Amino acid sequence: MTEEEHQRRPETPSDRIRKAFEVEFERFSDSPGSLPEGEKELRELQELRIKFLGKKSELAAQKKMIGSVDPKRRRDFALIFQNLEQDITRRIDEKELRLRTFVLRVRTERESIDVTMPGRRPRPGHLHPITLMRERIEDIFVSLGYAVEDDREIETDFYNFDALNIPEGHPARDPQDTFYTTDGFALRSQTSTVQIHAMQRRGAPIRMIAPGRVFRRDTPDPTHNPMFFQVEGLCVDRGITMAHLKGTLAELVHRLFGPETRTRFRPSYFPFTEPSAEVDYSCFNCGGKGCRICKGSGWIELGGSGMVHPNVLRAANVNPEEFTGFAFGLGIDRTCARIYQLDDIRLLFENDVRFLEQFR
């Protein structure tokens, strides 16, 4: 068919369908400008497929007419519409594949992690000031060859009082001062109880510290709390003297507050030591001149100490004729409050994050 003949040939239904399809198909692009555009084109392509290939399409209507076509022309007629259907199907399929690939690629890119974006910073936790203080003290004693012991917080009268040479009728046994359970157990009022457990378990010689919680029936105020933390220290061996006690505590305050820190021992009385002494150290802030932290005295109280009473050694099955030892106890939270200049020791137990965050 020449061009002239073609132009003269009347438009067939097949030509009409093809032309209509070309007009509508033209607006579909190979690379849409955005994900929403791509998704919109995909939806419209499905509508186009139904319009030109669906049951109600003109193509379907033409194919139904094949029975009424002259049998001689029937084969050509069928072939024309078969080719047309294949053409339209192939072109829609190709376009759909391109659009789907585009949409999938853009979606994947959007959902993948942008490594250049600043991350959300996790809020790191940190140790409680009492724990920091306890660990500093533990490190010092471990380096001096001491073991760190832990033990129960609920005790029998034997461990809390009898074994520590605290006689019946002593004020410390008064229910006004000590918490008792309904069946007669006591919440330990000092970490000295661990001395007895440790000596019973391991015998002498022994060097140990026992940091832990203790309980006393105090009304909470800026310098008291019914639950607080102590570190107990015990050194028992042949030939241990008061000089070893002084040297050990001097070493402790040197490492905690600096080598220029001095110690002072004041005679005192505790049932479980003889002789007994209160220990002070020269103020880390003013060096002994007097300031607000040391209340003008130049000295800060560290705790109690002394030579282990022979009755305590006996209670733990250690022979006082062969062994002697020293013991000491100091308040972790009290020392902590001094160092950080806290006006109220209760701040350490309230777990207010605004307060604790300062120790990061």
CB-count burial class (<10 Å; 0-12, 13-18, 19+) for 317: exposed
- Nearer to Zn ion by Cβ, of 83 and 297: the residue is 297
- Nearer to Zn ion by Cβ, of 62 and 282: the residue is 282
Choose one: 118-126, 204-212, 290-298, 323-331; the region binding Zn ion (CB under 5 A): 290-298
Choose one: 1-9, 18-26, 119-127, 291-299; the region binding Zn ion (CB under 5 A): 291-299
Our finding on whether 291 is near Zn ion (CB under 5 A) is yes
What's CA 22's distance to the chain center, in Å? 65
- The residue within the footprint of Zn ion, chosen from 283, 313, 318, 339 (CB under 5 A), is 283
Our finding on whether 165 is near Zn ion (CB under 5 A) is no
Our finding on whether 261 is near Zn ion (CB under 5 A) is no
CA-CA-CA-CA torsion sign (16, 21, 22, 23): positive
- The residue within the footprint of Zn ion, chosen from 282, 285, 324, 335 (CB under 5 A), is 285
Instruction: Count interface residues toward Zn ion (CB under 5 A).
Output: 6
Q: CA–CA separation, 194 vs 311, rounded Å?
A: 16
To Zn ion, the closest distance from the beta carbon of 332 in angstroms equals: 20
- Nearer to Zn ion by Cβ, of 204 and 336: the residue is 336
Contact 286, 293 (CB under 8 A): yes
Question: Cβ of 9: how many Cβ atoms within 10 Å?
Answer: 10
Q: CA–CA separation, 21 vs 23, rounded Å?
A: 5
In which residue are the tokens 């028992």 written?
A: 236
Q: Which of 276, 189, 191 is nearest to 230 (CA)?
A: 191
- The residue within the footprint of Zn ion, chosen from 294, 312, 327, 330 (CB under 5 A), is 294
Residue nearest to Zn ion (CB): 283
- The residue within the footprint of Zn ion, chosen from 286, 342, 347, 356 (CB under 5 A), is 286
Local structure of residue 224 (DSSP, 8 states): B
Where along the sequence are the contacts to Zn ion (CB under 5 A)? 283, 285-286, 291, 293-294
